[in-house]
Amino acid sequence: MARNSILGVFAKSPIKPLEKHIQLVVKCSNQLIPFFAACTEQNWSEAAKIRRKLSKYEQDADVLKRQLRLELPGGLFMPVDRADLLELLTQQDKIANKAKDIAGRILGRKLVIPASIQVQFQAYLVRCIDATEKAAEAINELDDLLEIGFRGREVDLVEKMINQLDAIEDDTDTMQIALRKELLALESELNPVDVMFLYQIIDWVGDLADLAERVGARLEILLARK
**61 vs 18, 26, 65, 89, CA distance in Å?**
10, 10, 6, 10
* Cβ proximity to another protein, 104 vs 149, nearer residue: 149
CB of 7 to another protein, least distance (A): 5
Length in residues, the chain: 226
CB of 13 to another protein, least distance (A): 3
Q: What is the DSSP letter of 52?
A: H
* Cβ proximity to another protein, 147 vs 189, nearer residue: 147
* Cβ proximity to another protein, 144 vs 187, nearer residue: 144
CB of 164 to another protein, least distance (A): 19
CB of 14 to another protein, least distance (A): 6
d(CA 1, CA 43): 58
**Which spans of this chain sit near another protein (rule: CB under 8 A)?**
1-16, 72, 75-79, 143-144, 146-154, 226
* Cβ proximity to another protein, 10 vs 192, nearer residue: 10
d(CA 56, CA 150): 34
Burial of residue 211, with CB atoms counted within 10 A of its CB: 0-12 exposed, 13-18 middle, 19 or more buried: buried
